[in-house]
Amino acid sequence: MATRLIEDDPELALAHARAARQRAGRIAVVRETAGLIAYHAGEWAEALSELRTARRMSGGAGLLAVMADCERGLGRPERAIELGRSDEARQLTGDEATELRIVVAGARMDLGQYDQAVVTLQTSELDPARIGPSSARLFYAYAEALLAADRSDEALTWFLHAASADIEGDTDAEERADELAAAARGEVNLSTESGTSATEYDDLADDDLADGEPTDDEVAGDNAPEHVDPEHRDLDNKPAEDKHVGGKVADHKATDDENGPIE
């Protein structure tokens, strides 16, 4: 019942999930579902606590992207980056690895580290020939990072790649590309945040892979400032529809594709 209500009524879905947790709180899938529903409802601290509990019960490295996005929602981008540098992150492949990269790049942008966000997203998956939701989201996030780093010509190219890859129409990449093209022709004033100089772009350290993940006590004890409206997270790399940071983190299954470490 709860999962069927997520899109239409996330608050009611959360009430059902909480009731299920009270009845069957020792079942990992119940805690995981409760965490995901809390995430969609914008209850970041509750979502993080439930997902961490589910991982302790069942093991594995899944849902790291959702957990990292919760840290962003709680105003703790540094912790999102730490999750991207964890040993568990190295185990991810395919879409799950891509989603985590998008969240970590968003966390970098939260901190004003636009060039490092660009580096974070540069992987073998960043191939314009690829299509599908995961590729569209990756290309879109890359375009956003380039735009924030004041590399608008490249950003336009990647918004166009994102539009081509977005066969399901999940993003507004085509509209963003039109907006940038119009700005280049001087038809509109496009205001963007200016990043650090791109001249040192190639010298950035790949420092997003290291140990570290906050404990449950830290999660429970933090009086983190309430995050901005959960709808702010788009692939615009604002904290959430990066659906890790495009609505919510996409619910993808890992594939057999190999991904490099999160930069």
Q: Are 82 and 74 in contact (CB under 8 A)?
A: no
Q: Is residue 15 part of a domain?
A: no
**Structural domain includes residue 39:** no
| CB-side neighbour CA atoms (13 Å) of 13 | 20
3 state DSSP class of 134: helix
Range of the domain at 169: 93-213+236-263
pTM: 0.69
C-beta of residue 102 within 8 angstroms of C-beta of residue 245: yes
Task: Answer yes or no: is 225 within a domain.
Answer: no
Give the number of domains in the chain: 1
The mean per-residue pLDDT over the stretch 61-77 comes to: 93
The CATH code of the domain that includes 135 is: 1.25.40
Digit-coded pLDDT (tens) for 89-116:
999 999 999 999 999 999 999 999 999 9
pLDDT tens digits, one per residue of 116-166: 999 999 999 999 999 999 999 999 999 999 999 999 999 999 999 999 999
Which range among 37-41, 93-97, 129-133, 239-243 shows the weakest confidence by mean pLDDT?
A: 239-243
Question: Per the domain annotation, does 106 fall within a domain?
Answer: yes
**Is the residue at 33 inside a domain?**
no
| Domain presence at residue 46 | no
CA–CA distance, 31 with 84 (Å, rounded to integer): 22
* 18 in a structural domain: no
Residue 37 in this model has a pLDDT that exceeds 60: yes
Q: Is residue 252 part of a domain?
A: yes
Question: pLDDT band at 217, cuts 50/70/90?
Answer: very low
Residue 6's CB is within 10 A of a number of other CB atoms, namely: 19
